[in-house]
Amino acid sequence: SNMEDDVSLKFRRQLLLIDENLVAEDVAALKFLCTDLLPFKKLERVKSALDIFQLLMAEEYLNEEDTFLLAELLYRIKCHSLLKKLGYTKEKVQECLHEKGRVSPYRQMLYELSENITNEMLKDIIFLLQNWLPKRRITLSALELLILLEKQGLLTENNVQMLEGVCMKVSPDLLETINCYKRAKGLESLVITIYTQIIGYPRKMIWDYVETFILFMVTAYPCSERIIWKGKKILCCFHLSLRENIVVSSSLRFAVTFFLSFLQKTTSYKMDGPHRGFCLVINNVSFDGSLQERKGSCKDAGELERVFTWLGLDVRTYENLTSLQIKDVMKTWQRLEDHKDRDCFICCILSHGESGAIYGKDEELVSIRMIMSHFTAKQCPQLAEKPKLFFIQACQGKEIQRPVYVEADAQIPDLPSMQQSVSPSESIPEEADFLLGMATIDGYVSFRHIEQGAWYIQALCSKLQLLVPRGEDILSILTEVNEDVGRRVDRWGTKKQMPQPAYTLRRKFIFPIPRDPPPS
């Protein structure tokens, strides 16, 4: 046979011995890990490990001189005792993986995920995905399920969104495996980020740190090696030979630490203090004059409290404050010494509003800019250089004709406004580290369902719960909020709304991923 022609008797005996020590689950795992390497139709016909070895030899992945791929596969499925039959040890395989590894980070991630999915979790996942699965298949293993999703194009190297969604619902702990893969996948773009970050610096000052950083990544993260080589056109500007002299001495370690610290400081806000920060929720529901009661707003306030508490903030809620009381509350929190031990500050205001302002219970307007100005570095030094986020659910213009089940957070027509038009970018203080999330653009109303709450607040809470566990930054989350609210229309399809964020943030604002599952 071809096998007898191509390989020595000794090599065939090695393969037979390995085959005899592998059970059906091991064969299924080997098939899965080879999915990107071998033709799928041929893999489907595989019955034993020997069939896989035959295919690997036919594709020139395996021969008596080079058995590393088989060693890698055995290592990945944790059959470490069989490595010695190929002359390898677990440590030797680990050492060579970054240079010789052939199983993609994507395939590794899926396999690791399958290993962590219990039978109960699998049943739940299959139930959630039943509309996408063939009706004829009743029993599926985790690996078979993943292959089915890939066949249907629902799961690819660049799109793991559906997988994230079901893992989030079934067991958020599974997300760590996917997040680890996404971080590795992002290394190529990280390299570009590094280059763009330092391009303005004197070349001599930073060059060694960049070189060291790349060497460090290759050494510390074996799966990154392929990604970096894939992007070698980008890296040619560094003039590096990544496969040579990968030795991290103590002085180089110091350089790496310095560079990582430098990179962290230039890309995201520090969010690892002992306390996350305070979150104020001001919820004005009823008013003294002609402004309507804001039905559904208590649902919004409760949702904000649950979500920001989940995110680690200390939430304080105030109801039905007059314009003077709103100003007094801001002065009180402005003077608070405890801010110095906190990472950030958040303030959410739910009320009726006009252009650039919100109404107190007494129907007097309070300028949004004035509210935010209490927390500038000069007025509140404890929050200097820390992110300050404000979310406003209020109309920014006149009330419009509307169906009864949707209300607008606007003034009523017979209450004239002296306010001039003010855009969100004009409301925000000129100095850095502020974000203002507005429910609607200037001059327009924002909608609130009298039972389900405001479109904007419900979308904000929903997207925070979905995207914070994925490591997304606040601006990416608000973009998703925009898309969500922008798609919504009222029952008659005539009323739409578009939120508008304005910001002077200097870095990415990323909430640390909470240990607990989202509250809803």
352 is catalytic: yes
Cα torsion angle, 210, 211, 214, 216, sign = negative
Residue 518 is classified by DSSP as P
Q: Taking Cα atoms as reference points, which of 140, 147, 136, 109 lies closest to residue 122?
A: 140
CA 467 – CA 472 distance, rounded (Å): 6
Active-site choice (339, 347, 348, 352): 352
H or E segment to which residue 282 belongs = strand 275-283
CA 429 – CA 436 distance, rounded (Å): 10
Active-site choice (339, 395, 449, 461): 395
The tokens describing 196, both together, are 């763009």
- CB of 228 closer than 8 Å to CB of 218: yes
Instruction: Output phi, psi for 193, to 5 deg.
Output: -60, -45
CA 163 – CA 145 distance, rounded (Å): 11
How are beta strands 500-503 and 365-367 bridged, if at all? unpaired
80 is catalytic: no
Dihedral angle computed from the Cα positions of residues 457, 462, 468 and 473, in that order, rounded to the nearest 10 degrees:
-50
DSSP E strand stretches across 290-438? 314-319, 342-350, 353-354, 357-359, 365-367, 388-393, 406-408, 434-438
How are beta strands 500-503 and 434-438 bridged, if at all? antiparallel
Q: Taking Cα atoms as reference points, which of 504, 346, 380, 508 lies closest to residue 435?
A: 504
Give 465: exposed, middle or buried? Use CB within 10 Å, 0-12, 13-18, 19+.
Answer: buried
> What are the angstrom distances between the C-alpha of 102 and each of 36, 117, 287?
9, 24, 67
> Which residues participate in catalysis according to the annotation?
352, 395
